[in-house]
Chains A and B, each alone.
Chain A
Amino acid sequence: MTEAAYLSMQGLSKAYPGVVALRAANLEVRRGEAVALMGANGAGKSTLMNVLGGVTAPDAGSITIDGSPVRLRTARDALAHGIAFVHQELAMLPSMTVAENVFADGFPTRFGIVDGATMRRDAAELLVRLGCNLPTDLAVETLGPGDRQMVEIARALRRAPRIVIFDEPTSSLTNNEKRRLFEIVQGLKRDGVAIIYITHFVDEIFEICDRVTVMRSGSTVATRAIAETSPTEIVRLMLGEADSGERLADEASSAGPLLLEVSGLCGGILRDIDFSLRAGEIVGLWGLLGSGRTELMRALIGLDPIDAGALRWRAADELRPVTPNELHQIAGIVTEDRRGEGLLLPLSTRANLSLASLRSLLTPLGLIDRNKEEGLAADLIGRLHIMVSGSAQAVGTLSGGNQQKVVVGRWLATEPRLFLLDEPTRGLDVGAKSEILKLTAALARAGAAVLVISSEPEELMRICDRYLVMSRGRLTAQMPGSATRAELLSAVSATPLRMSAA
């Protein structure tokens, strides 16, 4: 390539206490070119973009724009250098109008009074250029997600930026809206704008990007021209070549009776999900971020609404219809968000362990029996090998792995027959990961059905008896526990060119 890069980020590093977020990351974008930035969760994409947006100050590294070095200390600096950000979580002000939202970062005024007429006219003009005809005095809260995205884009493009960052712009869009967005990106490219396009959807980048830079663990591990790479190669670069570690559980030779049956589940991005879980079985829900794997788990327990479909759960030896809310009561749930799922960090390990089963600890007077509580805590601490100085130690002072064990332990005390695990090992060290995986295997041996999500195939390969593969809100394949890493990777990167009938 002969043309010099318009934006060049070189050797950027950033460390937070205990975590290295960026390790000498490099990124170059030329005028009129869209570069895809890909990477698994936590790969450092957000940090890198926050550096470019002036939100995060890097520890080392340099940024040049159009050949001259720049320092981006604040969001205003970034704006002044022609950098615009289309945020993933839309930065919308719901009760305010379309025009006000477009101009929220700088209202036009005349004699100190906001010039509503100019604002509406210019906003309308911008939106028409984006190919959409929204009334500019409509409150944004009355718009659908696609139109909101357009408002956000209009705001970003208002100052005629030279560099535009799209952060997962299509995650909430319908097919038509996505087409419209792609046309906008193509238009920007024709105008010579440098574009950074972040997405989890591998197929999209082959459609509108010219090059792809892949990040992993804070480093930019590879840059390829789109024409010279393949979806499988990109997924392989994103996930790396980690060794899989030995298998921790034999494949269940004969699974037990059917426990949960899901048929025709639709809701949010989920379409026609059918599957079933058997007692004693560990099923890996495998898919890239944005495939709908977390959404499926949330829909099962009523955290996201379901539009259609049926759930049936085995109670008293037969499958009976069950509501997501009831399933929420039945299931043991562990996610990567240890705080969000209800660990009370300032409280003792004991209090956290007993929280889900306080009813069984009551004295006849309705008070909590401290001896029983201590007995329960001691038992779980022993069984799960939780490393604590004593059951009174505050959970907030435990390591991540031990905190996660407390979460699992809390559920163990209620003896659930269904476990839903969403990235249960995220952020844990290798040893703690193995322990959590062993624990998962033990849960299944004890007769529970386990549905587990992980971004790391080698982790799933150590415990799963079966895989459900998800892509774009659908179950696209089922694979046996003997599937190889390569098979798993190609299952999610072979993008079925299905135009979903939205």
Chain B
Amino acid sequence: MSSFGRLATFLLQNGFLVVLAAVFAFFAIFTNTFLASGNLIDMLHAMSPLMTISAGLALVVMAGKLDISVGSVAFVAASVGTLLMTRLGCPPLLALAAALSAGALLGALNGFIVVVLGVNPLITTLGTMIAFRGVGLQLTNAQVERLPEGVRELGNWSVGPFFGDTLIALAIVLAVDLLHRRTIFGRQLTAIGNGEDVARRIGMPVDRLVFVAFVLSGALAAVGGVLDTLQIGAISAYLGKGLEFNAVAVIVVGGVSLFGGRGRILSSVVLGALMFELIRNGLNHLGANPYAYRLVSGAVIFAAMYADALKSRVRRAAVGAPAPGEA
């Protein structure tokens, strides 16, 4: 292979890392404040809720399904937890448990509609995305609800130089990655994403697995909602809005296939979230127009998808070629 061919292959296989490094270098060079250690820690802090939600969503996507209700689930779960504390005086731990249960329950509802009623996952979660947000708005009357004193301080909890939520989010992503790669559940989800019919024929309990994936996605969306609320110190009607699409973008840009069955969750979620946070944060430091963020992230998503399409074209061509040992 020519050195140009090798370079092209390398870029194709690692294009995302190259772009990530380039973006990082760009902001490091062109701003004075970007590289400060405080800023890097802030970025890891800011991306924690998104990482958590993306990790849950990645499980659903791995099975070839989609859950775009995660932003609304995060909102409802955070609202339930907050209101239990402010209106009913619940102890924080109980409120946390209630928030997570609410997330799992909403996830179970998604799973039920997809698996039992047989509705397309995109349509299902598009519906529940709208409906769940309505539930949350009704619960909160669309008002800002501040967290009680004593709980709000948790948002600044830190361990060593890192914020606590960074560590929680990383631990969750690691656990989900382990679940995906090293447990029977994870392997079977990947198998379903490879081909639902094939998985059924092999004898896998496809319906049960997909249902569980939706429950986990809901529960982790709730965790993300809680982390987000702690960062802000209050819930507002906008909590989690648009987060579902950010989460989809994160895992897809990171290399998980939306068709399912492909990709590594740990690197996708961490690096994907980092990419968008780098752009958002860096543009801030550059003093760019705040709306430029959307344009740039749109371009990044497009570039990542195009690279993915190229990759799968190469893969198809390779499969069509004669097998080794023939001819």
- Show the binding face of A for B, using Cβ within 8 Å: 75-76, 79, 87, 91-96, 100, 104-105, 107, 109, 112-114, 116, 141-147, 174, 176, 305, 502
Contact = CB atoms under 8 A, between A and B. Distances in A.
Contact of B326 (A93, A96, A100, A174): A174
Contacts of B187: 96, 100, 104, 107, 114
Contacts of B318: 142
A96 B257 CA distance: 14
B183 A142 contact: no
Q: In this complex, which of A114, A143, A176 has the most chain B Cβ atoms within 10 angstroms of its Cβ?
A: A114
A92 B261 CA distance: 12
B267 interface: no
A145 B323 CA distance: 8
Contact of B183 (A95, A113, A502): A113
A93 B194 contact: yes
B170 to A, nearest CB: 20
A316 B281 CA distance: 67
Among A76, A94, A305, the most chain B Cβ lie within 10 Å of the Cβ of A94
Nearest to B192: A93
Interface string B193-230: 11100110111100000000000000000000000000
A167 to B, nearest CB: 12
Interface in B266-324: 315, 318-320, 322-324
B202 A91 contact: yes
Given A109-B184, A114-B187, 18 more contacts: A91-B198, A91-B202, A92-B195, A93-B190, A93-B261, A104-B199, A105-B202, A105-B203, A105-B204, A107-B184, A107-B187, A109-B183, A112-B183, A113-B183, A141-B315, A141-B319, A305-B320, A502-B326
Interface in B124-176: none
A96 B323 contact: no
Contacts of A93: 190-191, 194-195, 198-199, 261
Interface residues on B, range: 20 to 34
Contacts of B182: 113-114, 116
Contacts of B194: 93-96
Contacts of B315: 141
Given A92-B198, A114-B182, A144 B322 contact: yes
| The 5 A-B residue pairs with the shortest CB-CB distance in the complex, in nearest-first order | A144-B323, A93-B194, A91-B198, A95-B262, A113-B182
Most interface-central of B195, B204, B325 (chain A CB within 10 A): B325
B180 to A, nearest CB: 11
Contacts of A79: 203
DSSP majority for the B interface? helix
A335 B195 CA distance: 27
Contacts of B186: 114
A433 B191 CA distance: 44
A96 B191 contact: yes
Nearest to B318: A142
Given A107-B184, A113-B182, A146 B323 contact: yes
A114 B203 contact: no
A114 B261 contact: no
A324 to B, nearest CB: 17
B191 to A, nearest CB: 5
Interface in B47-68: none
Contact of A96 (B190, B319, B320): B190
Contacts of A305: 320
Centre residue among B183, B204, B318, B323 by max chain A CB count within 10 A: B323
A142 B319 contact: yes
A145 B325 CA distance: 12
11 contacts: A92-B198, A96-B191, A96-B194, A105-B203, A107-B187, A109-B184, A113-B178, A114-B183, A114-B186, A144-B323, A144-B325
Given A96-B190, A96-B191, A100-B187, A76 B319 contact: no
A132 B319 CA distance: 19
Given A75-B203, A79-B203, A91-B198, A104 B326 contact: no
Contacts of B190: 93, 95-96
Nearest to B321: A144
A100 to B, nearest CB: 6
A70 B181 CA distance: 38
Contacts of A146: 323, 326
Contacts of B202: 91, 104-105
A145 B326 CA distance: 11
Contact of B203 (A76, A113, A144): A76
A203 B322 CA distance: 26
A143 B182 CA distance: 24
A95 B191 CA distance: 9
A107 to B, nearest CB: 5
B261 A144 contact: no
Contact of B191 (A104, A143, A144, A174): A104
A147 B191 contact: no
Contacts of B204: 104-105
B15 to A, nearest CB: 19
Pick the most buried of A95, A100, A174: most chain B CB atoms within 10 A of its CB. Answer: A95
A147 B201 CA distance: 20
B183 A91 contact: no
A147 B319 CA distance: 12
Contact of A144 (B178, B195, B326): B326
B324 A144 contact: yes
Nearest to B182: A113
Contacts of A141: 315, 319
Given A93-B195, A143-B323, A87 B183 contact: no
A113 B180 CA distance: 10
Contact of A95 (B261, B320, B322): B261
Most buried by A among B178, B183, B198: B198
A75 B315 CA distance: 33
A144 B195 CA distance: 18
B261 A147 contact: no
B323 A147 contact: yes
A84 to B, nearest CB: 12
A87 B186 CA distance: 25
A114 B326 contact: no
Contacts of B183: 109, 112-114
Contacts of A91: 195, 198, 201-202
Contacts of B198: 91-93
Which among B193, B203, B318, B324 has the greatest number of chain A C-beta atoms within 10 A? B203
Nearest to A114: B182
A93 B323 CA distance: 18
Nearest to B194: A93
A98 B27 CA distance: 43
A114 B184 contact: yes
